[in-house]
Amino acid sequence: MAHRTPIVGGNWKMNTDLASAVELADNVVASCSPFVQHTDIALFPPFPYLQAVGKTLGHHGILLGAQDVYYEASGAFTGEVSAAMLVDLNVAVVLTGHSERRHIIGESDELVNLKTRAALDAGLWVILCVGETIEQREAGQVDDVNVRQLTIGLDGVPVEQMRQVIIAYEPVWAIGTGRTATPEDAEAVHRVLRATLADLYDESVAESVRIQYGGSVKANNARELFSQPNIDGFLVGGASLKADEFAAIVQATAATNVSQ
């Protein structure tokens, strides 16, 4: 089986202020730096704090991430932020298709695809998020929804750019609810996503792309989730706002990875 470096992201969403963002980043550097040898770690602060958080992350090996990106290069797009602007700020990785952008802001699969392609073209890593709502799960549409979001999200992405791509499976009903998918349910969807990557590309791409799980991941459930063969790390919301809790989640991936 391919070796996949685990990856854990902390999505701060629309939380913190300037002082607390810098303090949190500082505490994450202190608690997580020892793990960067084994696990890729990224923080996703709000846009206005990217530069300050980036400065705090310095050269400790923790990646600076952005929660969103626009697909146009420049021009009359009030309020939007281009991929080149993010690169200017030393952003290394962006989220696309996060469920809050799909379901609160109303982003379509096609818009997610445009953003994904623009970010990849700028040389950024992309965490492409997919996931079904509770209604879709109850209607037996889990695989259909996730395969569709993945397939459209990656439409037109050439195989050479797939090394910049990470997928996050985030069931909408598990995000911020305290309700986590069971390791078996998450693993089942991760397997389907990996099989879809093999269909869209080939086995070697499918084996090398990292697939994170997201949805109420905490220190006390990370290890069991990570023990599943197709779960390669986590995208963490609420628990990433506490440096100790986030570090414990990172440690769960690093410890398992080291002992393999």
Please list the active-site residues: 98, 170
Determine, following the binding rule CB under 6 A, whether residue 253 of this chain makes contact with ligand PEP: no
Q: Identify the CA nearest to 145 among candidates 167, 166, 126, 171.
A: 171
Q: Is 169 helix (H, G, I), strand (E, B) or coil?
A: strand
Determine, following the binding rule CB under 6 A, whether residue 167 of this chain makes contact with ligand PEP: no
Which residue matches tokens 């960067």?
36
Determine, following the binding rule CB under 6 A, whether residue 235 of this chain makes contact with ligand PEP: yes
Q: Which stretch binds ligand PEP (CB under 6 A): 111-119, 133-141, 194-202, 234-242?
A: 234-242
Q: Identify the CA nearest to 235 among candidates 127, 93, 136, 139.
A: 127
Give me 204's structure tokens.
């070697």
- Least separation in angstroms between residue 98's CB and ligand PEP is 6
Among 54, 173, 238, 251, binds ligand PEP (CB under 6 A): 238
Q: Identify the CA nearest to 150 among candidates 136, 129, 164, 171.
A: 129
Which residues from 187-216 bind ligand PEP, rule CB under 6 A?
Answer: 214-216
Among 176, 182, 203, 224, binds ligand PEP (CB under 6 A): 176
123 Rama sector, left if φ>0, alpha if ψ -120 to 50, beta otherwise: left
Nearer to ligand PEP, 206 or 243 (CB): 243
**Interacting residues with ligand PEP (CB under 6 A):** 11, 170, 175-176, 214-217, 235-239
